[in-house]
Amino acid sequence: MRALICDHWCDYKDLTVKDVPEPEMRPGAVRVRVEAAGVSYSTQIVVAGKYQRKPPFPFSPGTDIAGTVIEVADDVTGLKPGMRVFAPIDWGGSAEQAVVDAIHATVLPDDLDLAASVALPISYSTAGSALMWRAKLQKGDWILIHGAGGGVGLAAVEIAKAIGAHVIARAGVDKHEHLKSRGADVVLDSAAPTFREDVLRLTDGGAQAVLDPMGGAIFDESLRCLAEGGTLVSIGYVSGEIPKAAANIIMLKNIAVAGLNWGLYIGWSPQDNREFYAPRAQALWAQLVDWWQEGKIAPMIHESYPLADFASAMEAVRERRVIGRVALLPQV
């Protein structure tokens, strides 16, 4: 089979497509013919050896896939060849085939787009768990979403609206109209030097939640955008700077700072508690599928590329030219 292969730490441009053996089947797993594999900002960090998780060489990057089941382990029930599924995977997604944990393979109804479902196992799940589990967002709340034009940010806009919250989305001006069409109540220019005054004015005193994938100075100003009792959920540090929380503000306003590492729920931690968290993850995926069928969310692939054109896909993500997700199509 063909797969994008990393056999040493390198620049993403140095990865090549090679013919390699099919991945070995294992108990508790299913083999999937991969129709779409997600490309994320962190992919370039993984292949450079600068990510906290370091796969053994050689490996294929890619941690979210959508495709068709072609083989099922003897101990697996509820799944069979021919079923369309989406799933997170430890690594190995950028290939014609992948072997995934059966507990992480969610069956997709026939009326939903298979390739677009690649946005669900990581991007929409990160956004959903951050908003519902950590921020505990409620109908009528205000939420400020940074990086709203990215895969997780766009998912967060839609999920917040599905919950019934009011959304202030922050992104580049070229993405404003699209964000409004996806439900954002207000869109702020991410190039503006500050945003605190706008948020406090729009929310009449502060938002109940902030989703922050950026870190750095944005984190500090975002704390000051929260209403009393509000929660800031930190999901990453795209700015390259890990912030330090101002404990006095946290105490004086009774606000909270919560971290969200979606990987912890799907086994990407030293403890590997994927079995323990599987029921919770499965419930979230079921909710996302229901919302999609109801028209409350609309996962999409903004750009897709053949497997051999991974470098162009990665550049589209790096340069923030896209809204939502970029995908590889391994069968092309």
- Could you give the domains of the chain? 2-113+299-329 (3.90.180.10), 123-263 (3.90.180.10)
Name the pLDDT band for 322 (thresholds 50, 70, 90): confident
pTM here is 0.96
For the segment 279-297, what is each residue's pLDDT rounded down to a tens digit? 999 999 999 999 999 999 9
- Measured between alpha carbons, how far is residue 183 from residues 165, 180, 214 in Å? 10, 5, 22
- In 3-state terms, what secondary structure has residue 2? strand
Q: What is the pLDDT of residue 324?
A: 84
Over residues 111-116, the mean pLDDT reads: 97
* pLDDT at residue 6 greater than cutoff 90: yes
Q: Are strands 226-234 and 256-259 parallel, antiparallel or unpaired?
A: parallel
Q: Are strands 166-171 and 186-189 parallel, antiparallel or unpaired?
A: parallel
> Is residue 65 within 8 Å of 52, Cβ to Cβ?
no
Strand ranges, E, within the chain: 2-5, 16-19, 29-39, 64-72, 84-88, 97-101, 106-107, 142-145, 166-171, 186-189, 207-212, 226-234, 256-259, 301-306, 325-329
